[in-house]
Amino acid sequence: MKISSGFRSIAVAAAIAAASVSFASTAHADSGTIRFAVYKAAFFVGGSGGEGTLTFHGRRYPISVGGVSGGLAFGVSKTYFQGTVRHIKRARDVTGVYGAAGGGGALGKGAQVIVMTNDKGARLELTGRQVGLQVNADLSGMSISLR
């Protein structure tokens, strides 16, 4: 069965156009800086809340942070996070529910590193410093909204 050269040309052109659109949308994505503080309290089921700032294209946007966790958790803590948010086109792309994206760990006493993504593809790369006592072995998520 032979495929006509005209059909092949159209298929190749369509594939190149699709790849260009995909690359263009990725190429236009940008990054910003983010910093926030989160208070967390837990006795098996925990809750967290906080606030901070997203800086994107030279403008500062106030944000709110919240979350719920379950599992083996207890204690009270405050964690200061700072880092980069990548793959956003506008400030509101940072809003949404975040889940772990394959990384988290300790950087010494009270320090944390975490990478999370939301449903819009925004990727948070954060370092944090914890104050207080929080012991947990739980699955956590976090929600960020613009205020």
Could you read off the pLDDT of 97-120 as tens digits, one per residue?
Answer: 987 654 444 444 555 678 889 999
- Tell me, yes or no, whether 8 lies in a domain: no
Q: Does residue 21 come out as left (phi exceeding 0), alpha (psi in the -120 to 50 range) or beta?
A: alpha
Say if 9 falls within a structural domain: no
* Residue 107 domain flag: yes
CATH label of the domain that carries residue 89: 2.40.128
pLDDT at 147 over 60: yes
The pLDDT value recorded for residue 122 is 94
Residue 24 lies in a domain: no
Residue range of the domain that includes 123: 30-146
Mean pLDDT of the chain: 75
Instruction: Give pLDDT tens digits for 14-42.
Output: 445 544 444 444 456 899 999 999 888 87
- Whether the predicted model's global pTM rises above the 0.85 cut: no
State the first-to-last Cα distance of the chain, in angstroms, to the nearest integer.
61
> For the chain, how long is the longest CA-to-CA vector?
71
Residue 5 placed within a domain: no
Please say whether the beta carbons of 28 and 10 come within 8 A.
Answer: no
70 touches 24 (CB < 8 A): no
Provide the number of structural domains found in the chain.
1
Q: Which of 112, 103, 125 lies closest to 33, judged by CA?
A: 125
